[in-house]
Structure 1
Amino acid sequence: MRTLRIVMVLACTGLLAACATRPPAPAPLPTLDAAAQAGAEALQADRARALSAMPAWSLSGRAAITRAGKGGSGRIEWQQDGAAFAVALAAPVTRQSWRLAVDDDGARLEGLDGGPLSGPDGQSLLFDATGLEVPVDALGAWLRGLPADEAVHGPARMAFGADLLPARLEQGGWSIDYRAWRPQDGAAPALPLRIDARRGDAGVRLVVDTWSGAGP
């Protein structure tokens, strides 16, 4: 069977440590007064406009994935160009890796024991290969602290922190906590540096080391 068990591949790296534990329970959010809430919403609208003008971007960092008490961690590279994207996850010790690329022609998943798989979309292809229900076409927005297309992924609810930046985004059954940010620098909008996402018994923790193409 041509399957790729991402969690088990990464678990073999021996990197299971604090960063590979399930994301912590969501922290209580501050209560913003009406003026602060309005300011946060205005700042978010400015961020969204700035990021929409930067359709080509990439990030590099570290990811930890858990499901039903098992998990592993590795390096992640994400490259986005409009609606097309490619994400690669690698376990440094075993040098095992997988790569999912999605564009107008469909999706391709590489790193499988029996060779690559192709399909019409990334989410169904990843589910067929791994059993993981990951809304990969929403992640490009979520990674930058933006809601995904509500016509596709359902209503989004966003809460803001005392710094007026997104603290939590809930959409499609996922709860995404933004725990650290790269601050705005001139025209470069603020971007997340640490993200914890949860849905049921599944969790993803991401630490971004570098952003490219999203401002200096």
Structure 2
Amino acid sequence: MMRTSSDDTPESDYSGLRRDMVAAVAAMSEELNPVPDMPGLSQPVLDALGRVPRHLFVPDIERDFAYQNRPLPIGYGQTISQPYVVAFMTELLKLKPGSRVLEIGAGCGYQTAVLAEMGAEIYSIEIVEPLAIQAEQTLHNLGYDRVHVRPGDGYHGWPEHAPYDGIIVAAGASHVPQPLLDQLKPGGRMVIPLGESYAAQELLLIKKDAAGEVQRQEVLPVRFVPLTGRH
């Protein structure tokens, strides 16, 4: 079935814009190359980005800008991340089909959809309840049946479904939450922005080896909304 937007614009009208966005993301990746041992974004990640209708995840007022390579407001003081950052964070997780992923900060569900396109099963938490409800509905309408979204404070993770092959945090934190480290499977990876709220942050890649030892690597300057909650 051809997807349509809420203004009845055929999905096919957005396909060229989406191809242009993916090309811009690929070019940015080659230019920046922030991780020397990771030469650009892989084709599976670019293909996943190219399959997700970003215009269906943004408010109607932002729809004309949906395929620009930049973040956009989605209400409640939150944003949909820049497509390049979404792709880069997805790449860092090194997912395989069937991977179990914990996502902290679902927002509108766009990053969730890209992860699902990689064949992962996603457990996603969003602290802003209206956004959680909206994201779950959008993802359901698009047929993502291996995605589970609930409202709540993501600091403590979702231990009922742990351990996770990958954990992705889409909010800036002052430190790495210990509950998330505990829920990361040996051999798993976590990506999380660290730094002061709305100031300079660094995207951190965390790898847990088979013995449970943790390695940390700063990979990219970023700016995310803050991780909030009772912690």
Q: TM-score, length-normalised on structure 1?
A: 0.31
Which structure carries more helix by proportion? 2
- Greater length-normalized contact order (CA 8 Å, ≥ 6 residues apart): 1
Structure whose residues are more often strand by fraction: 1
Q: Given the two structures, how large is their TM-score scaled by the length of structure 2?
A: 0.30
Give the structure with higher Rg (CA): 1
